Structures are given as structure tokens and as C-alpha cells.
Amino acid sequence: MKIFADSADLDTIRPLAEAGLIDGVTTNPSLIARSGSDFLDTVGALAAMIDGPVSAEVAATEYDPMMREAARLAQIAPNVCIKLPLTLDGLRACRTLRGEGRETNVTLCFSVTQAVLAAKAGATYVSAFVGRLDDINIDGGALLKDIRDVFDTYPAFRTQVLAASLRSVNHVSAAALAGADAATMPPEIVTAMARHPLTDKGLAAFLADWERTGQTIR
């Protein structure tokens, strides 16, 4: 499963990229607003930092303005993936962009039927929102499994299932078990994936035993 950092904070993304722990980055207008940085400059910096896809979202809601914004985003770098809302205009733009050879990420998917339309539009990724469904007592992990089952049933669908709105390590586990192709999450969740109390306890015991030997490795 690919791991994407869902952030526009260059300082938190950089160490994860240098460690080879992430395969790409996703951004959205909310993340850019919170960062206080220039949108185009930030996307360019991320695209230079990461070899994989950097999802940059259009702000327009109608087809023609979407296409103009997508053309501007595509100029930034070859690995910019155009992020589009799962609306009729967004799906139309997705189809056009895919015909031009651009990668696309259709976002705000909350149902199997929406995912099917994204796949028919040729989306590279469809972002299924797990956490926001859990917020209203609908099982977001179950949606991932259902989309995976449908896509596996129809091999002509080449769209990758991207688990989004992940808010905990448990959400990441659920995404992996559901067979998601990729998962995007805040950088702090990526680092939390490496932690376990028994790992810390075991390491402390190993270090204590090693110290008692009086040896060094040189």
C-alpha cells in the first residue's frame, strides 16, 4: 500500500521523504489555508521534494474554470496530480485530463456508486473518506472494502482506491486490510505507525543488557 502525506507543511514532510517512508503527498484548500503559504509555490516545492504524485486541487466548481486551473497546475511539474471534486463537472474534467495523459485524484467520495463513476471517468485515484463517514456513524472501512470488491469484479476499472480522511493508526490498519491501493494521512500518523509500547519496552531491555556487557561497537 502506498503511503501519502496529507499536508502542505514542508518541514514535516521533508524528513518523511528523506527516510523513504512516503510515496506521495496530497493537499487541499484547507491544508494550504492552514499553512499560510502560497499555493503554487508550495505545490512546486512539494513536487521537487517527492518523486511520486503530489495532488493539487482545483478551486473551481465548473468544468471550464476547472480545466483552466488544471492547465496551470500541470505546468508546475510532471508529477502534479490534478485533484478534482466528485461532481458531474469534476468527473467530466477528469475524463478530459486523463485523455491528455494527466494523473487525476477524484476526491470527496462517500459511496460505492460515486467510486464507480470516478472509475468510469478514468480517475487515477478515487479518494474515499473514512474518517468523515465514521463521524456520522457509518463504517468508513466498510466503504473501502466494498469499493475494492467492486473494482476487483470489473478488471476494466484501473482506478486506485485511495483511503483518505484517516485520523489514527487504526484507520491505516483498516485501509490496509480492506486492500486500499494507497492511504493518505497527516504526517504525525505516519510517524505514529512506527511506535508500539512493546517495541519501546524491548529496546530499553536490550540497551540495559548491552550496557552491562561494557562493550562498544567500533
pLDDT at 183: 98
Q: How many CB atoms lie within 10 A of CB 213?
A: 7
Helical (H) or strand (E) element with 24: strand 24-26
- Domain architecture of the chain: domains with CATH: 2-213 (3.20.20.70)
Residue from 2, 83, 120, 201 carrying the catalytic annotation: 83
pLDDT in tens, 158-170: 999 999 999 999 9
Angle at which helix 112-120 crosses helix 140-153, to 10 degrees, equals 40
Per-residue pLDDT band at 29 (split at 50, 70, 90): confident
108-163 pLDDT, tens digit each: 999 999 999 999 999 999 999 999 999 999 999 999 999 999 999 999 999 999 99
Going by pLDDT thresholds of 50, 70 and 90, the confidence category of residue 1 is very high
Q: Which three cell numbers stand for residue 89?
A: 463537472
Long-range contacts of residues 57-65, Cβ cutoff 8 Å, at least 24 apart: 57/27, 57/28, 57/29, 57/83, 57/84, 57/85, 57/107, 58/82, 58/83, 58/84, 58/85, 58/93, 59/29, 61/85, 61/87, 61/89, 62/89, 63/89, 63/92, 63/93
For the residues 15-31, what does the mean pLDDT come to?
94
70-102 pLDDT tens trace:
999 999 999 999 999 999 999 999 999 999 999
Q: What is the pLDDT of residue 36?
A: 85
> pLDDT at residue 34 above 90?
no
User: Does the annotation mark 83 as catalytic?
Assistant: yes
* Distance of alpha carbon 119 from alpha carbon 156, whole angstroms: 9
